[in-house]
Structures are given as C-alpha cells and as structure tokens.
Amino acid sequence: MSKHLIIKGREVVEDDWQVLRLAEPVEGAPAHDPATVAVPEGKFIVPLSLWLVQRDVLAARTAAGEIAVWIASDERPETLKGLLDQFPLIAVDFPKFTDGRGYSIAYNLRVRLGWTGELRAIGDVLRDQLFSMQRVGFDAYAVRADRDPHDALKGLSDFSETYQASVDQKVPLFRRFNRTAVASTGANNDGAGI
C-alpha cells in the first residue's frame, strides 16, 4: 500500500497513519457499532467514540503509539481530559469545508486542555483553511485527497501579519506595535500606527 502525503510542520511528508472511519448509515444498512468494529493491525487514528468503548481492548496498542484518536465536529474535547498523554497525536475531523467547529475544538485542546502533541486536521481540509487552522493550534494537515498538499502548503503563509491574539500569537497587533516610534519619525503615513 502506498503512503499518502500530509503537511506536517511546514513540509510535505509521507504519512504512516491511516484514518479509520465508521460506515455511515444508509437505507437498509445500519452504521457500524463502535463497540464491535475490529481495528486492523498498523497505526490507526480511530474515532473517539470507538476508542472510548474499546479503551481496554486497545490499551496496549495505544501505549505502543499505534492508536490515536480523531474527534468529530459534534464531540467535546473535554472527554479526553486527563487522558491526553496516552496519544501520539490527536486529529480533528472537518466533515465539510464550511463546518468551523473543528477550530474551537483545536483551540480548546491547546489552550484549555494543554495538548502539546501533534494536532492534525482531517476531512474536508483545503488550502484556504490552513492559515486559520495553524492560528488555533493545528500543526499537521491531511488535505482532501483530490488536492495537492504541495500547493496547499502555500496556504500557511498567505498572510504576513495577524491582528488578533490566538494560540500562535498571544499578543494582538495593537499591543505589539509601538505607535510612538512612528509618530516621532514625523512620517506622514495615515496607515502607520494600525
């Protein structure tokens, strides 16, 4: 099986993790029950719901760094409070490009729960989202399969400055910029001082 490429840090690398997704319910067939799904051998990022019900079964593999979890956009990261140190990485799923709940999940994992490990965006991840994703704490990105990760990588540097404080910049721009220094130069620049 060929490995797929992801963005990790600020480079495109081969990924040795696979994302395990449970089948969605369709007419005539139920969704897979997280309690009965067998996790294949190898390194898998499993749904949080599956890990919670199979925690004891997966304990040895989790401890060996072979099992990580992904959090759905309608799940709460606080579920993992006190358990975060068990995982080599945590992923947050973006089911649709327009679903922004993953940003809040990432922010809460970093700021409120103190997660310092790899935080990966999975699902419908596109170049346009990467700059904002890094602001809230993501440091790895599995872009959608039909997109080029090398092109998406450019999205991390779309902007040179940020106004608001966030995970990546704790101080807002108005606190980082010295307005008196601009005023003392005598420059007549109406935009200076922003």
Mean pLDDT of 16-30: 76
Dihedral Cα 156, 116, 44, 102, nearest 10 deg: -60
* Digit-coded pLDDT (tens) for 47-81: 999 999 999 999 999 999 999 999 999 999 999 99
Choose between 186 and 40: higher pLDDT. Answer: 40
Closest CA to 2 of 20, 19, 15: 15
Q: Which amino acid is at 186?
A: G
Give the Cα separation of 5 and 79 in Å (integer): 29
**All residues at 6 or more sequence positions from 162 whose CB lies less than 8 Å from its CB, including other chains:** 135, 168, 169, 173
Residue 193 pLDDT exceeds 70: no
Q: Is the CATH number 3.40.50.300 carried by domain 4-158?
A: no
| Residue appearing with tokens 């993501």 | 138
Residue 190 pLDDT exceeds 50: yes
1 pLDDT band, cuts 50/70/90, is very low
- What's the 3-state SS for 117-159? CEEEEEECCCHHHHHHHHHCCCCEECCCCCCCHHHHHHHHHCC
- The mean predicted confidence, pLDDT, of the chain is 86
Give the Cα separation of 52 and 70 in Å (integer): 11
Residue 44 pLDDT exceeds 80: yes
Domain ranges of the chain: 4-158, 161-194
Residue 156, number of CB atoms within 10 A of its CB: 17
Report how far apart, in Å, the C-alpha atoms of 161 and of each of 153, 164, 173, 189 are.
Answer: 17, 10, 8, 19
Please tell me the pTM assigned to this model. 0.81
